[in-house]
Structure 1
Amino acid sequence: MLLDNNLVRHLDACETMGSATTICSDKTGTLTTNRMTVVESYVGNTEFSSAADLRAALSPVAMAALCDGICLNSTAEILPPLKAGGKPEHTGNKTECALLQLATDMGVVYADVRKAGDVGHMLTFSSTKKRMTVVVRTSATTCRVFTKGASEIVLDLCQSQLQLDGSVSPLNEAQKNHIHSNAIETYANQAYRTLCLAYRDIDASMEVIKTWADEDLERDLTCVAIVGIEDPVRDEVPGAIRQCNKAGIVVRMVTGDNMATAKSIALKCGILSPNDGSLVMEGAEFRRRVLDSNGNIIQSEFDKIWPMLRVLARSSPKDKYTLVSGLIASNLYPHGPQVVAVTGDGTNDAPALKKADVGFAMGICGTAVAKDASDIILMDDNFKSIVNAVKWGRNVYDSIAKFLQFQLTVNLVAITVAIVGAIVLEESPLSAIQLLWVNLIMDTFASLALATDSPTDALLERKPYPRTKALISRKMFKHIVGQGIFQLIVILLLTFVPSLINVKAGYKDERDGNNPTEHYTMIFNTFVFLQLFNEINARRIHDELNVFDGFFQNQLYIGIQIFQITLQAVMVQFGGLALKCAPLSGSQWAICIGIGALSLPVGLSLRCVHADHFPQFFTSCNEVETVHEPSARGKELWMRTFARLRTQIRVIKAFRSSGAQRRLLTEKGHRNTI
């Protein structure tokens, strides 16, 4: 998964992602490139599409008001390109970087402005207030306040407007509505992030201003500019969201942008479709409808909203936490609660990341707190990597199911053959050493072979597994029983009717009672090849007809199969008395392999049988065991685990100790026994 840019911190998150039904994603950096550029600006009721045109139109006074506000009311940096001909490196907040680039393109050196400016007080950006403010000392008794933030919020705090010539004119409600419709809404409908830049001059010293409340500072502002910032959607995101929709996963976007911008981005990504009835809601309205006066979720009201909710605009981290909590708590659908994955990059996102079934933190722009709260870290901050995690999660689940289907078939046949042989023949057709080899195939090699298929896009063509899904599905049960019955019939026929394969019956050679016979060797050899061919069947657990699909892409699987066949041939031909095997002729090998290969057409036939005729077991882990005394049961499990761990430590120490130390432990154990 690391190669797919998923750094897994908690292993159980891999399997959980296979059952994900909802992904609550941020917009900036996850769905978009996070490479922002100011493409439109609105100053003095005039629209500009380039920095050069804007610079030419502004007077020195207006130029200073705009660029000082950009340079001083920010903490980001623009560094020279790492390579010749490359793009400048942006560090810090990407929105601020876009504004600094605008100032740079207008011929302003932001470092010089910051050096000359005397910033004495700062109100950092708040996801609740959606704005940031600094206070700059202009003289001993005067200061200038620079504010930037969400365009409609900051514009509401303005009572005047800066003109191109540097003059200031009053700003009434009608003029605000004009700016809103001609700039803010126009830019937002083009999927631009909109910001309002404003300032205010105050006749008071810095010491006095520091005692003021935030609300007293951020009022009676002068609107300088409305800027439209473009953050393009990642090229791969629309395709990834189409895959999610096809896979039965609902993608919901949670963003701080205004509703128009959020809706436009969602349409470009494919989260929304025109006229599909999906719900787009602002955070304030969402809180009003789903929270009571104490801030608790009203689940009945939440359940009326979330099925159609796709975009939550102007939202805060608290809104994201509320959304995740409500989704997990909802029992609206009979197949169980939602399995929720959520992305986050800020410190305030930590509660939502912890609450979600799987939390994704951003590896590039995420804070340390967000990463610590997450289950998986996205190394490239890309939504496509979340889809890769879904594929890996489903692949893990399918790999476990493949192994179970194969292993249970082997167990069923081996145990039945051993029991029947012991009762009827007073000896098992399969010797102890042969069963050990079968166990090696069944456990070690099968787990390696069946768990090494890489995830494919085909995994996203079906709905997620519900949490209450049966461990053994009807289709798996069908193949376990069907293959088990077929293999039992074959092995028992070979055991009791040896004439079918033209060999003499018997466990031992009549000429030498110590030598194994060709009869029982062929039984063992046929049994092994039945498993090896059934291992190919087990590669597909959803009744796909072509079990060889992707077979030759998995080089490790092919290598393991070749190794098992080679080792089986060596055991049979050269194992002799030690392995209870007699060498077989070429025709006998052909018979064993041919009978084993019949597992493939049998598997094909079983795929044509409808699985509804078979029962379903292990529907819920909760049905397996009911704990009536949790404290006593917990203590028992703790003591058992502790004892097992202590035993394992002793074993490891024993293996690492010298021969003399091991003899000393043996003698001590003997004395304790006496």
Structure 2
Amino acid sequence: MMKDNNLVRHLDACETMGNATAICSDKTGTLTTNRMTVVQSYIGGETYKTSPKYESLPRNVAELLLYAISVNSAYTSRVLPGDNPGDLPKQVGNKTECSLLGFILDLGKSYQAIRDEVSEESFHRVYTFNSARKSMSTVVPRDGGYRIYTKGASEIVMKKCSFIHGKDGRLESFSKSMQDRLVREVIEPMACNGLRTISIAYRDFVRGKAEINQVHFENEPNWEDEDNIISNLTCLCVLGIEDPVRPEVPDAIHRCQRAGITVRMVTGDNINTARSIASKCGILKPGDNSLILEGKEFNRRVRDESGKIQQHLIDKLWVNLRVLARSSPTDKYTLVKGIIESKINANREVVAVTGDGTNDGPALKMADVGFAMGIAGTDVAKEASDIILTDDNFTSIVKAVMWGRNVYDSIAKFLQFQLTVNVVAVIVAFVGACAINDSPLKAVQMLWVNLIMDTLASLALATEAPTPDLLQRKPYGRTKPLISRTMMKNILGQAVYMILVIFVLLFYGDKLLDIDSGRYADIRDPPSQHFTIIFNTFVMMTLFNEINARKIHGQRNVFQGFFSNPIFYSIWLSTLASQVVIVQFGGRAFSTEALTLELWLWCILFGSGVLLWGQVVTSIPTKKLPKNVFSWGSGEPQTDPIADFSIEDKLDSDGKDGKRTGQILWIRGLTRLQTQLRVIRAFKSTLEDLEERRSCHSLHSLHSMRNSRSHQGNRPMSDISYIDEDSTKSPSPNSDKRCGSCNTAVRLVTPFEESSPTTAETAPLVPPGSPQGGPAAAATQQLGHHRPHTHANTQNSSS
């Protein structure tokens, strides 16, 4: 995926992306090239379809325009010459600002000369761009006063303008009717052509005599009062910036739509610009019942009278919503959260979201899969994402969808292959043991089959590269079983063929192939060709069925893409070569006998029959098979019935939820049976420990009895650490700790010690005639120390 420009940060996001049903994408840089250029402009009352000449502009307006663009932009944004002659200039930094700087270069002037004149250190204040302002303003000192340069979204900046430079650069009042006319005649036509419209304005603060569009001040203005400072501006121009749609994006969106994925565009641009770009990309199509909203209108519709967001109001919008224009990161988060939490569909929507800004973090976290931009994205956005697009391209998202579906299919392919082999191997071994008192497949042969089935097959089937065919079908549902009906048909169909072939060879193979029968052979007899043929045929069928397992959706051409995966055919050929070596030279180690060329051809013929039989199985209508026979892995995660014992209270008293009740009873029965087995196992181990210690005590007691008759004063030699060496002392606390389990065991095996403590505790431990202070008494004290009166009873009994 890294080669496809997808840097995966969370591995589970890859598989989740395969089930995606909705993508909420940004516009700039994702759907478009993010290489912006000014292609239209409105300056001094004139509309220019191409870049004008500096000399053709009103002098006062042209000079103001140069300073407004050069100063009121990040000094890190630059336009550099191309590496080679004829190459396009390189844009470094913010692309919108680079397009404005390129406009100055097209006028034949240099922005760097102005920046050298007005350094960043001389700035008095900067109101940076954000999603709330939709504009940027810079305050610079000028002739004892200040000048504010402002640029931003045209409709936002124009609302703060009270003056405009009209024809020949004359200063005019910018009335509401004039603003509406400018929007109708200039801004909307630009937006309908897919252009981003930027307005540039300024305002002067002077200490002396002020003109009509200037502000006189004596005391320092309150720069914190942004609404008052950035108001009554003078509009200089409106620029139309083109951000072309990436050539590959319309086809990528078409493939997403064909794959059952709904693509929505969430942008901060003008609604007309957003509509134009969405139409060019294919998000909007003629005749569709698609909905286009601005962020303000969307917020109004999803809130109730008290201002709270309501899910049922979002459900009325998101189904048909395709474009959300002039939106903020909060609007994006509300939309994503509403789609995910919606319950109007049987299966919950799986939503992927793209984001590049710091404020996009909540939406990226809320989404099932969050995509951050690797080039334009901030560090916060990257940390909140699951996958980073290293090229900021929408087509990389489509590749992530393909990889996600490929992961799911790889698991299904391996399951289809493995279950087929398991079913055949189990039935053959069981029937063979019952019919001929011997398994046709020996233990070492089964190990080789398991190696093929598990390790080698997983490597071969899981390394298939994603193909465009993965986008020809709808996403897997969240409750879809892992084993589909088509897979169930293939598993059972292939198992029937393999079992039939093996049983024919087992019972009639000696006659059909004119070889000696291996049935009822003695264990000391050398390996037979009969059973070698069965083993070899089974492996051949398994190998050819591995090719069948590459297709899980009923495709007939199982060889499609076979040679595009070198890992697969390399493993397949090496397995075949290994099988030849095992059969021909394995001997007793593998219970094989070398086969002739004719017998090898028969084995390969039976094995390759799996491919022909697969075509027959594919012809069986899948819809006529039951749906829920192999529904393993389906459904939403449920509460564990073992942990939630109150679930019985939730069941219908009439027993209507019979399936659920049966599951609970079955699981609880198994749980209680396991608990009982653990208790019995612990009880048994305790008894065995007790008997072992008792036997040790008895031996030492007998040894001490013999020694006491001849050596009364000698202390017996003992190698048991928990028996006191000093027979006259009571048990030590340490020995009592070591015998804690023994004490517990004594209480378990002597349930009648309350009524008869002396008999129950001392009779098995103290032989008749044992002295009171001998080792047997010490051992008895150790075993009986768990009750206060036991030591006294033991001494009395010994006496």
Q: Same fold (TM over 0.5)?
A: yes
Tell me by how many angstroms 1:553 deviates.
2.1
Which residue number in structure 2 is paired with residue 384 of structure 1?
Answer: 395
Following the alignment from structure 1 to structure 2, what is the Cα–Cα distance between the partners of residues 13 and 233? 27
* Pairing 1:620–2:634 present: yes
1:411-466 CA-partner distances (Å, limit 9, x unpaired): 11111111222222222111111111101110111111112221111111111111
Which residue number in structure 2 is paired with residue 569 of structure 1?
Answer: 580
Tell me by how many angstroms 1:627 deviates.
4.7
Tell me by how many angstroms 1:342 deviates.
0.8
Following the alignment from structure 2 to structure 1, what is the Cα–Cα distance between the partners of residues 456 and 367? 36
* Pairing 1:240–2:244 present: no
SS in 2 for 1:202: strand
SS in 2 for 1:277: coil
CA change 1:111–1:210 in 2 (3 A) is farther
* Pairing 1:178–2:181 present: yes
Which residue number in structure 1 is paired with residue 744 of structure 2?
Answer: none
1:538-590 CA-partner distances (Å, limit 9, x unpaired): 11111111111122222221111111110000000011111111000011111
Please tell me the residue identity of whatever aligns with 1:497: Y
Following the alignment from structure 1 to structure 2, what is the Cα–Cα distance between the partners of residues 207 and 534? 88
The answer (yes or no) to whether the contact 1:190–1:261 under 8 Å persists in 2 is yes
The answer (yes or no) to whether the contact 1:158–1:220 under 8 Å persists in 2 is yes
Instruction: Quote the RMSD (CA, aligned, Å).
Output: 2.2
- Which of 138, 143, 146 aligns to 1:143? It is 146
- In the TM superposition, 1:442-461 aligns within 5 A as 442-461=453-472
* Pairing 1:491–2:502 present: yes
Please tell me the residue identity of whatever aligns with 2:271: M
- Which of 319, 322, 335 aligns to 1:323? It is 335
Please tell me the residue identity of whatever aligns with 2:570: G
Following the alignment from structure 2 to structure 1, what is the Cα–Cα distance between the partners of residues 111 and 102? 9
Tell me by how many angstroms 1:360 deviates.
0.8
Following the alignment from structure 1 to structure 2, what is the Cα–Cα distance between the partners of residues 467 and 539? 23
1:65-112 CA-partner distances (Å, limit 9, x unpaired): 111111111102223333444322212210010001111222332222
TM-score (norm: length of structure 1):
0.90
Bigger Cα displacement from structure 2, 315-324 vs 615-624: 615-624
Larger CA Rg, structure 1 vs 2? 2
Following the alignment from structure 1 to structure 2, what is the Cα–Cα distance between the partners of residues 264 and 175? 25
Tell me by how many angstroms 1:253 deviates.
0.4
Bigger Cα displacement from structure 2, 373-382 vs 263-272: 373-382
Please tell me the residue identity of whatever aligns with 2:255: Q
1:129-160 CA-partner distances (Å, limit 9, x unpaired): 211111111132x2111111111111111111
Which residue number in structure 2 is paired with residue 33 of structure 1?
Answer: 33
Following the alignment from structure 2 to structure 1, what is the Cα–Cα distance between the partners of residues 373 and 637? 38
Following the alignment from structure 1 to structure 2, what is the Cα–Cα distance between the partners of residues 408 and 456? 25
Please tell me the residue identity of whatever aligns with 1:603: G
The answer (yes or no) to whether the contact 1:297–1:326 under 8 Å persists in 2 is no
The answer (yes or no) to whether the contact 1:71–1:100 under 8 Å persists in 2 is yes
Please tell me the residue identity of whatever aligns with 2:608: A
Following the alignment from structure 2 to structure 1, what is the Cα–Cα distance between the partners of residues 643 and 331? 39
The answer (yes or no) to whether the contact 2:436–2:519 under 8 Å persists in 1 is no
1:106-131 CA-partner distances (Å, limit 9, x unpaired): 23322221232332101111112211
Please tell me the residue identity of whatever aligns with 1:135: V
Following the alignment from structure 1 to structure 2, what is the Cα–Cα distance between the partners of residues 87 and 209? 44
SS in 1 for 2:140: strand
Following the alignment from structure 2 to structure 1, what is the Cα–Cα distance between the partners of residues 169 and 163? 12
* Pairing 1:407–2:408 present: no
Which residue number in structure 1 is paired with residue 407 of structure 2?
Answer: 396
* Pairing 1:58–2:69 present: no
TM-score (norm: length of structure 2):
0.76
Which residue number in structure 2 is paired with residue 67 of structure 1?
Answer: 66
SS in 2 for 1:152: helix
Which residue number in structure 2 is paired with residue 14 of structure 1?
Answer: 14
Tell me by how many angstroms 1:60 deviates.
2.9
SS in 2 for 1:281: strand
Following the alignment from structure 2 to structure 1, what is the Cα–Cα distance between the partners of residues 218 and 350? 52
Which residue number in structure 1 is paired with residue 685 of structure 2?
Answer: none
- Which of 342, 348, 359 aligns to 1:348? It is 359
SS in 2 for 1:3: coil
Aligned pair count?
Answer: 630
SS in 2 for 1:125: coil
The answer (yes or no) to whether the contact 2:256–2:263 under 8 Å persists in 1 is yes
- Which of 431, 436, 440 aligns to 1:420? It is 431
* Pairing 1:476–2:476 present: no
Following the alignment from structure 2 to structure 1, what is the Cα–Cα distance between the partners of residues 97 and 304? 37
* Pairing 1:123–2:118 present: no
Following the alignment from structure 1 to structure 2, what is the Cα–Cα distance between the partners of residues 144 and 18? 54
1:277-307 CA-partner distances (Å, limit 9, x unpaired): 2111101111111134776531111111111
SS in 2 for 1:115: helix
Following the alignment from structure 1 to structure 2, what is the Cα–Cα distance between the partners of residues 134 and 265? 31
The answer (yes or no) to whether the contact 2:479–2:636 under 8 Å persists in 1 is no
SS in 2 for 1:430: coil
The answer (yes or no) to whether the contact 1:508–1:515 under 8 Å persists in 2 is no
- In the TM superposition, 1:66-145 aligns within 5 A as 66-75=65-74, 76-117=77-118, 118-140=122-144, 142-145=145-148
Which residue number in structure 2 is paired with residue 190 of structure 1?
Answer: 193
Tell me by how many angstroms 1:390 deviates.
0.9
SS in 1 for 2:190: helix
SS in 2 for 1:424: helix
Which residue number in structure 1 is paired with residue 276 of structure 2?
Answer: 264
The answer (yes or no) to whether the contact 2:437–2:520 under 8 Å persists in 1 is no
* Pairing 1:251–2:263 present: yes
The answer (yes or no) to whether the contact 1:509–1:515 under 8 Å persists in 2 is no
Following the alignment from structure 2 to structure 1, what is the Cα–Cα distance between the partners of residues 644 and 590? 49
- Which of 230, 238, 253 aligns to 2:242? It is 230
Bigger Cα displacement from structure 2, 228-237 vs 537-546: 537-546
Please tell me the residue identity of whatever aligns with 1:123: Y
- Which of 290, 307, 314 aligns to 2:302? It is 290
Which residue number in structure 2 is paired with residue 159 of structure 1?
Answer: 162
Following the alignment from structure 1 to structure 2, what is the Cα–Cα distance between the partners of residues 360 and 233? 19
* Pairing 1:604–2:615 present: yes
CA change 1:448–1:410 in 2 (3 A) is same
1:360-413 CA-partner distances (Å, limit 9, x unpaired): 111111111111111111111111111111111111111111110000011111
Please tell me the residue identity of whatever aligns with 1:488: I
Following the alignment from structure 1 to structure 2, what is the Cα–Cα distance between the partners of residues 59 and 164? 8
Following the alignment from structure 1 to structure 2, what is the Cα–Cα distance between the partners of residues 424 and 296? 74
Following the alignment from structure 1 to structure 2, what is the Cα–Cα distance between the partners of residues 314 and 372? 25
Following the alignment from structure 1 to structure 2, what is the Cα–Cα distance between the partners of residues 492 and 258? 73
The answer (yes or no) to whether the contact 1:137–1:143 under 8 Å persists in 2 is yes
* Pairing 1:548–2:562 present: no
Following the alignment from structure 1 to structure 2, what is the Cα–Cα distance between the partners of residues 514 and 206? 116
Please tell me the residue identity of whatever aligns with 2:387: I
Tell me by how many angstroms 1:56 deviates.
2.0
Following the alignment from structure 2 to structure 1, what is the Cα–Cα distance between the partners of residues 349 and 548? 33
SS in 2 for 1:618: coil
Tell me by how many angstroms 1:210 deviates.
5.1
Following the alignment from structure 2 to structure 1, what is the Cα–Cα distance between the partners of residues 218 and 272? 39
Following the alignment from structure 1 to structure 2, what is the Cα–Cα distance between the partners of residues 275 and 177? 30
Following the alignment from structure 1 to structure 2, what is the Cα–Cα distance between the partners of residues 627 and 329? 26
Following the alignment from structure 2 to structure 1, what is the Cα–Cα distance between the partners of residues 538 and 455? 18
Following the alignment from structure 1 to structure 2, what is the Cα–Cα distance between the partners of residues 608 and 547? 14
Which residue number in structure 2 is paired with residue 277 of structure 1?
Answer: 289
Q: Which runs of 5+ in 1 are unaligned?
A: 637-674
Following the alignment from structure 2 to structure 1, what is the Cα–Cα distance between the partners of residues 141 and 644? 65
Tell me by how many angstroms 1:596 deviates.
1.0
* Pairing 1:168–2:171 present: yes
Following the alignment from structure 2 to structure 1, what is the Cα–Cα distance between the partners of residues 307 and 78? 39
The answer (yes or no) to whether the contact 1:509–1:516 under 8 Å persists in 2 is no
Following the alignment from structure 1 to structure 2, what is the Cα–Cα distance between the partners of residues 126 and 624? 44
The answer (yes or no) to whether the contact 1:57–1:164 under 8 Å persists in 2 is no
Please tell me the residue identity of whatever aligns with 2:88: K
